[in-house]
Chains A and B, each alone.
Chain A
Amino acid sequence: EAAVTQSPRNKVAVTGGKVTLSCNQTNNHNNMYWYRQDTGHGLRLIHYSYGAGSTEKGDIPDGYKASRPSQENFSLILELATPSQTSVYFCASGDAAGGDTQYFGPGTRLLVL
């Protein structure tokens, strides 16, 4: 079973503050993804990466940056957090070969006050 971990699991931040969400995968997957989940919207893709050093914009990248320093680690950065970024954030990894089923982490619940 694929293993994707996220930290922190819960975070309270202040408006205008910087927030970094971290993700680690031990599956040696090339691809990694960051989503946010909001009621009524399902999961929406923020950023993704095809490997170390690469980041790509997803559907809703505004207000977010991403960093992929290694195969295992993928971070999501909110430079100036806003209350509209209050959400549950999921990281996922996937193997580029044959269909790319994605394996999700347990999620990070972020509250921006």
Chain B
Amino acid sequence: QQKVQQSPESLSVPEGGMASLNCTSSDRNFQYFWWYRQHSGEGPKALMSIFSDGDKKEGRFTAHLNKASLHVSLHIRDSQPSDSALYFCAASEQSNYNVLYFGSGTKLTVEP
């Protein structure tokens, strides 16, 4: 069983809309979380990290972490067609934060 679960598997939003992606874990040792984005034919690229409870905003992207429920979300405001990609949530333990466990991804399609 994967340690990191993502939902939904796929998501379609209109251009200019809000996309919301979710990630949960069953491992209470996880303390650090990342969101990575992968465009077709490319390697994943880090979007943002979040290590503390609450919100973290970077431009149109906002991540929210609730360590008590081991839930992290990513919200993309004013979605653009270029945001269409596979989004991965990743988590690591405090004892070995270099080792990332990835979810299976959410495929986001932004329709013009």
Q: Tell me the A residues contacting B by CB distance below 8 Å.
A: 4, 31, 35, 40-45, 48, 50, 58-59, 90, 92, 94, 96, 99-107
Contact = CB atoms under 8 A, between A and B. Distances in A.
Given A41-B104, A44-B102, A104 B51 contact: no
B43 A40 contact: no
A42 B46 contact: no
19 contacts: A31-B98, A41-B104, A42-B4, A43-B90, A45-B99, A45-B100, A58-B99, A59-B101, A90-B43, A92-B43, A99-B49, A99-B51, A99-B97, A100-B97, A100-B98, A102-B46, A103-B45, A106-B42, A107-B43
User: Which secondary structure dominates chain B's binding surface?
Assistant: strand
Contacts of A101: 34, 46, 49
B82 interface: no
Contacts of B101: 45, 59
Contact of A42 (B45, B98, B102): B102
Contacts of A45: 99-101
B76 to A, nearest CB: 19
Given A48-B99, A101-B34, A41 B2 contact: yes
A88 to B, nearest CB: 9
Chain A CB within 10 Å, residue with most, of B32, B51, B104: B104
A107 B8 CA distance: 25
Interface in B1-20: 2, 4
Given A4-B43, A99-B51, 18 more contacts: A42-B2, A42-B4, A42-B88, A42-B105, A43-B88, A43-B100, A45-B101, A48-B99, A50-B98, A58-B99, A94-B98, A99-B49, A99-B97, A100-B98, A101-B49, A104-B43, A105-B43, A107-B43
